[in-house]
Every structure is written in structure tokens, then in C-alpha cells.
Amino acid sequence: MIQNFDVVGGPKMGRDNVPLLRAELKRLKLDGLLIPHEDEYNNEYLPDYNERLMWATGFTGSAGAAIVLNDRASMFTDGRYTLQVRQQVDGDLFGFARLEDGITAWLRANLRKGETIGYDPRLHPPKAVSALRNAAEGAGATLVALEVNPIDTAWTNRPAAPKGPVAIQPDMLSGKNHAQKRAEIGQAIAHAGADAAMLTAPASIAWLLNLRGSDVRCTPLMLANAIIDKAGLVSLYVDPDKLSGDVRSHLGNEVSVTSEDALAADLSNWSGKTLIVDPTTSSAWHSQSLKDAGATVLAQEDPVALPKAIKSSAELRGSETAHRRDAVPLIRFLHWLDTEAQSGQFDEIDAAVKLETFRHDTGLLKDLSFETISGAGSNGAHCHYRVNTATTLPLAPGTLYLVDSGGQYVDGTTDVTRTVPIGKATQEMCERYTLVLQGHIALATIRFPSGTTGSNLDAIARYPLWQAGLDYDHGTGHGVGAFLGVHEGPQRISKTPNNVALETGMIVSNEPGYYKAGEYGIRIENLQYVTQAEDISGGERPMHGFHTLTLAPFCRALIDTDMLTRAERDYVDEYHARVQKEIGPELDGEIAAWLKQACRPL
């Protein structure tokens, strides 16, 4: 199924729906409502059923929030969506504010004394609620937790809740059966001094129980909550209709299955017990409901997060296989870009559809791993651009085209970015592409001791750009799941401080970039995993490194070889030789010949 490029959301949605919401607020004797982008599961992608922010405002971006009051409203987005938010949200209904400046600051400055503002505690983390309440009270207003979200009542044509079937992830791909995983997590819970842990992240539940779902696009998740105790026994709260007889047999008698509606009542069973609840992935409702039930909440990281990030040997083998498979459609696409697409007769949507079609041709694509970023010319300068019928640009001569895409396969998740010229590139384009490539190579080849975090390494990828007075405003690398989320923690490579060490088996992206507003964008991204620490001849400490998973040539036409050191040229030649050796035999005819030329030594 090809992704949808139709324009969704938009100003009309806000004009139609804000009056409905205000009528509901009036009925509830509320002066306003806080509306985050997040849903009850804090997923990157939301089912249509939970697109509350889009319903209220028309905004479709992945990060944002709004507050709707009876006589005014404001929309908050970060710098990635400065242009998009003004295209999609009615400026007559909403004022615009920066998410970076903080919603709390807006509340302090704009709420009026005596106003009562509602919020859905299932959609906000505990720390955020505390800050929001303090801000509201500082303005003389009151923040009230609501049992029912007013949007859910006002949304008369709300889509049905997803009922996607759940599938078993085979042990041969996961590397461990779920009994082993449950036992290990149970031991970690006991070691932390707790009786159980509440799991609110669907990806953690999927990994723990070796299950994959189909409730949201781009990520194979089932919407669910779970509680695992220190003995490894699990209470799974999920729509039972999603589970086949085979799945129930797979779960066995140490995993009980109950409807999600039963969770609230079942929390009373944990009175007097201590439960781990991750304050970054759970909602205020989870923590408060446990406290109201007489349980003690231990605010700690989800005990599944780190084991999930450290891939088993089976998961790494599967990821290798998935990336080799994905390389074939990707190289077919790069060949198309270098031949047919040079005509200037195609646009960003044509290109995105072509790449997705090539991936479908494998016969094994389960879904995209995210919505393809297909950015031509000035659109490529928006690092998180999402193409649609209203914004698509042609692949025009004299421009750069940036494509960031990935696939979900049962054995692995891919994510890759390449930048290519349409027609002849300028010298500036080549120089800045080469600076990005140098940063990419530096991160791909770095050796580092145990205990090193991603934030320790981030500057390495930026160094060539910094020396030229340039930079980019996104992280350099994110964790990636094994047939799970394409963005996965707790590790990351970023300027933002992170205290999670990079450990053997973690998959991370390597994606430095450069973006010239109004003109073009450049990004080069491969996935790589952390290798076991090994001794270096003459060294004193064993060092980790990275093994690259992604296999596709860099763009020779954009490389200024005079800027590269001998070691950097050798890296490119060795990487291209590997691509040719591993993927060349999978191709034939014109495309095989093209790859051989693309991978010839610099």
C-alpha cells in the first residue's frame, strides 16, 4: 500500500471543530483544554482514532500542542514546523507560539485569574502535569484532571479504535523466547527493590512477549498496557479480539490477557506493593491511579528499554539480512534518480512512490518504517519535511534531492538517507556534501572505550562542518529497533546530554547533515551497530567500534576528492567495494553496470 500524499488537516478542520469543542467545554463548565500531540501510548505514530490535536487544529506534524479557551486559543510547534503550522492552522482562531519557549510560560502570561483549565491525565507525563499546574496556579487559574476527554465527546465522526491482528515474532528472529525475557526482566525488577513494573510503551510489550501488532502505521505495534512482576508473570491489558488462538498458546499460562478497560480496577490488587513506572513514557494517570490504589510508585526507567536496545546476535543477523534485502530496491532507485529522473519531469511524490514501489517488489515489505522524506530543492532544507500534494516540488535541474526512507521487514528495520544532484551541482553543494561525508566517516570509524555515551561522540560528526562555520540543528544518531520503532531509546547521539552508554549490539543511525534555508538540504545516513570492545595493537584499553548495516553508494558526483584525506578516500573505496561485493550479485543488466560504476575507486 503506497503512503497517502493527500493534504490532511488544514484550517477548515479547526474552523469546523473548535466551536464543537467550545460547546463541550461550556457544558462541562471549563474555560479551556490543554491538547498535546501525544496519545495514551506515547507512540511516534498515532492511530487515526487518537489524532486529537489534528482534529482540533488541523495540524498534522509530529510535535506540537494547543490550548483552546472559550475566547482565544494558541498553537505551539517547534522550529521544524514554522511554515507548516501557518499553512494548516487557522490564524484567525489560533495564535502561534514556539514550543521551545514553553507552554508553561504561556500559561503564566496568558491565563486569567479564576479560569479553570482541563487536561486529560492519560496524555501528559507526571513531570509535565506538575509544571503545568504550577504555571496555571501562578496565573491564578486552576488545572483540573478530566475523566473523559472533551474532544472524545465532541468528535462525532471519530474513527473506530484499531483492531489490528497480533502476530508472533519467532524466537529464531528475537534470539530469546519470552519466558527467558520475562525471567530476566523480573530479576531486574527485584534487584531494583520493586514488586512489579508497569509497562506503558507498546514497543516494550511487543519486545518482551515476542509479539508484533498492526494498530499503527510504520511501526508493528499493538496498543496495550502490561504489568510484569518480579517472578516474570505478566498481566497483559489488550483488546482480546486482536489475539488468535495461536497467539494465546504462544503466551502460555504465565501471561494473563484482560481487556484494557479492566486495568483501572485491577490496580487495587497492587495495594501495598511497589511498582516501577517510567515517568518519561507513562502518563500522570498511571502514576496517580497506582497511588490512589495504595501502591508505591518507583519512578525509574522502563526495565525493558535497555535490554530491548541491546540487540541479540539473532536480531543483528536479521538486521544484516534486512539491510541487504533493502539495498536492492534502494540501488534501483538511485539508478532511476541518476537516469530517468534527470529529465526534470518528475516531482517529490513521483520519487517517493517509485522508491516505495521498488521496496514492495521485494515481496517482503511489511510497511514503511516512517513516512518518506522526499525533498527537492528548497524543501530538502526542511530536515523533517513531509511531502504532500500541496507542497511537492519538481526534481528540477540544478537542484539537490534528499530522500530519507526506510522499510519494516520481519527480520529488521531500515533507515537510510542519500542526497543526489539533479543536473549539475554547484561547487558549494559539492564542498558542503563533502564536509557532511567527512563527519559521517569520522563517526563510522571512531573507536571508543566502554562507558562512552552518544553525546560524547556527537561533536566528532560535526567537526568538519564546525571548522567551516556550519552546523545542523538535529541529532546525529538515534536508536533503531529490530522490526520495531525506527526511533528507539534510550541511547542517542546528540548534543543533548545523555547518560546511557553505547553498548555492544545497540543499533544507531549516523546522519550528519547541512541545510541551506530556501535552497537545498544535504544528509547522509547509514545505520550501524556497536561492536564488541577489542584490543588495539599497542593500546591499553579495549575499544568499541561501529559496523555499518546500510549498503548503498554515496554520490560520487557530489564528492570533492581534493578535500578528503587519504584515510577518508580509503574508507569510501572500501565501503563501495563492500557494497559491490554484497549487493552486486543481486542485480543484473543496466542496474548492475550502474552500481559497478558508482562503486569504482575514487
Residue-wise pLDDT for 288-301, tens only, equals 999 999 999 999 99
Q: What is the pLDDT of residue 292?
A: 96
- Could you give the strand order of the β-sheet that contains 399-405, starting from the edge strand earlier in sequence? 373-376, 399-405, 416-422
3-state helix/strand/coil string of 222-286: CCCEEEEECCCCEEEECCHHHCCHHHHHHHHHHEEEECHHHHHHHHHHHCCCEEEECCCCCCHHH
CA distances from 47 to 44, 485, 562 (A): 10, 15, 49
- Residue type at position 186: G
pLDDT 10s digits, 482-515: 999 999 999 999 999 999 999 999 999 999 999 9
pLDDT at 317 over 70: yes
Q: What is the pLDDT of residues 196-210, one digit of tens each?
A: 999 999 999 999 999
- How wide is the angle at C-alpha 181 spanned by C-alphas 180 and 184, nearest 5°? 90
What is the reported pLDDT for 11?
Answer: 87
Closest CA to 283 of 303, 304, 297: 297
Q: How confident is the model at residue 474 (pLDDT cuts 50, 70, 90)?
A: very high
* pLDDT over 70 percentage in the chain: 100
If you average pLDDT over every residue of the chain, what do you get?
A: 96
pLDDT at 1: 67
Question: 3-class SS at 297?
Answer: strand
SS3 state of residue 33: strand
Is pLDDT of 584 > 90? yes
- Is the model's pTM score more than 0.75? yes
Residues of the chain above pLDDT 90, percent: 92
pLDDT at 384: 82
Residue 97 has pLDDT above 80, yes or no: yes
Residue 38, pLDDT > 70, answer yes
Cell numbers given for 372 = 518518506
Sorted by sequence, the CB contacts under 8 Å of residue 360 that are 6+ apart come out as none
